[in-house]
């Protein structure tokens, strides 16, 4: 019904930057919110950032001031600019979208993830 396609992961040195992108397509009437979670090796998944249709954002304390989430509603795309990256940011990053389908149902979707590796 809905596909989330992530891109932008890769290898970067500590202090560097990356920008993640996630485009949603398919059975979409509207998108209530989009965001990112991550799962580091040996750790549980955690929410990183969320942005709603009005532009309000929420960030995990660990990334505040370093990560910026943004959204292009015309493209159903969410971005995450990650600056001053630290080795502890190494994780698989998953795109999230809460979507209202054309039939009116509210549905949650997750992308398959993109790996971010930050070296010391």
- Walk along the chain (120 residues) and give the pLDDT tens digit of each residue: 899 999 999 999 999 999 999 999 999 999 999 999 999 989 999 999 999 988 999 999 999 999 999 999 899 999 999 999 999 999 999 999 999 988 999 999 999 999 999 999
Plot region of 74 (φ>0 → left; ψ -120 to 50 → alpha; else → beta): alpha
Q: What are residue 105's phi and psi, to 5 degrees? A: -75, 150
Q: Residue 1: its pLDDT value, please?
A: 84
Q: What gap in Å lies between CA 92 and CA 115, rounded to an integer?
A: 4
Nearest alpha-carbon partner for 92 in 46, 55, 58, 52: 46
Which residues, including other chains, have CB under 8 Å from residue 54's CB and lie 6 or more apart? Answer: none
Q: Specify the pLDDT at position 5.
A: 96
């Amino acid at each position: 019904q809905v596909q989330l396609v992530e891109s932008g992961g890769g290898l970067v040195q500590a202090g560097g930057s990356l920008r993640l992108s996630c485009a949603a397509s398919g059975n979409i009437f509207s998108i209530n919110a989009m965001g990112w979670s991550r799962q580091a090796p040996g750790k549980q998944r955690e929410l990183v950032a969320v942005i709603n249709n009005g532009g309000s954002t929420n960030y995990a304390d660990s990334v505040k001031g370093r990560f910026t989430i943004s959204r292009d509603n015309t493209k159903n795309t969410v971005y995450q600019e990650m600056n001053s990256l630290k080795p502890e940011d190494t994780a698989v990053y998953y795109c999230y979208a809460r979507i209202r389908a054309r039939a009116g149902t509210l549905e949650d979707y997750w992308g398959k993830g993109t790996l971010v590796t930050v070296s010391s």
